[in-house]
Amino acid sequence: MASSANSRQNSPPREYSLVRRLVRWLVVAIVAYYSLVTLSLLVLRWVNPFTTAVQTERRLQARLQGKSYSKQYRFVPMTQISPALQHAVVAAEDARFFQHHGFDWKEVQLAVEEDLDRGKSRGASTITQQLVKNLYLSTGRSFLRKGIEFSIVPAAELVLSKRRILELYLNVIEWGPGVYGAEAAAQYYFHEPARRLSREQAIELASVLPAPLRRKPGRLVEYDRIIGERMTQMGW
């Protein structure tokens, strides 16, 4: 009788046992998620994605809002994308893309300083970060999403080459309502294949990327000029 009472006293409370199970399942879920992400990155070295998390998000948003949705998306190899567009996008979005390993800490420092000095939010995401967001996450802003993004970027840089990261980015990035990738954008805005884009057209397309649902090519003259100057500095 006494031993039975002692056993009950020594056994962990039910609430503690439940917390332990929840923690265990959370750890399993996290390990499974990152294992799947790493496996998918390995696959993406050779296989082109048929869709992305952001594309799925846009479709769901349209359905919830009762709006029609039409997706234009065609993956093309880097050889079918104008070199001018490749350089314009790097100049506009991530000038040190080929120098950093997923994070541009100089831009992060500038973003923090500008936020403190002027109270403005300055973007500092690299092409690799934006690719990870498009493939696996959403367009929503939160510390949780940013934390997950930061944790995946090193794996992407380790598994994928810089050329493949840029190729994936140019093909999946949002360029307008339902318009994804360089080929769809070139056809949508200029009725030309991506490989035939001129330097001027490439600059105009690159200027759209920070806000693709609001911006249109050819309407951002000052920003186009800045991108053109950056390209010239880069030898283009």
Beta strands in the chain (DSSP E): 72-73, 174-176, 179-180
Using 50, 70 and 90 to split pLDDT, how confident is the model at 91?
very high
- Among positive and negative, which fits the CA dihedral 147, 86, 94, 71? negative
171 confidence band (pLDDT: 50, 70, 90)? very high
CATH architecture classification, 50-233: Orthogonal Bundle (1.10)
Q: How far apart are CA 92 and CA 130, in angstroms?
A: 13
pLDDT of res. 141: 86
* DSSP bridge partners of 179: 72, 176
| Sign of the dihedral defined by the CA atoms of residues 196, 202, 204, 210, in that order | positive
pTM: 0.86
Structure token digits, residue 179:
């318009």
The domains of the chain are located at: 1-43, 50-233
Any idea what DSSP says for residue 124?
-
Tens digit of each residue's pLDDT (9 = 90 or more) over 95-153 = 999 999 988 888 766 655 555 455 444 457 899 999 999 999 988 888 999 999 999 99
Residue 217 CB-half CA count within 13 A:
17
Please say whether the beta carbons of 54 and 168 come within 8 A: no
Q: What is the pLDDT of residues 210-227, one digit of tens each?
A: 899 999 998 889 999 999
The contacts of residue 209 (CB under 8 Å, 6+ apart) are: 89, 92, 93, 173, 175
Q: What are the residues whose beta carbons fall under 8 Å from the beta carbon of 175, sequence distance 6 or more?
A: 181, 182, 184, 185, 188, 189, 205, 208, 209, 212
Residue 205 near residue 88 (C-beta atoms within 8 A): yes
CB 140 within 8 A of CB 153: no
Distance of alpha carbon 153 from alpha carbon 133, whole angstroms: 9
Confidence of residue 24 (pLDDT cuts 50, 70, 90): confident
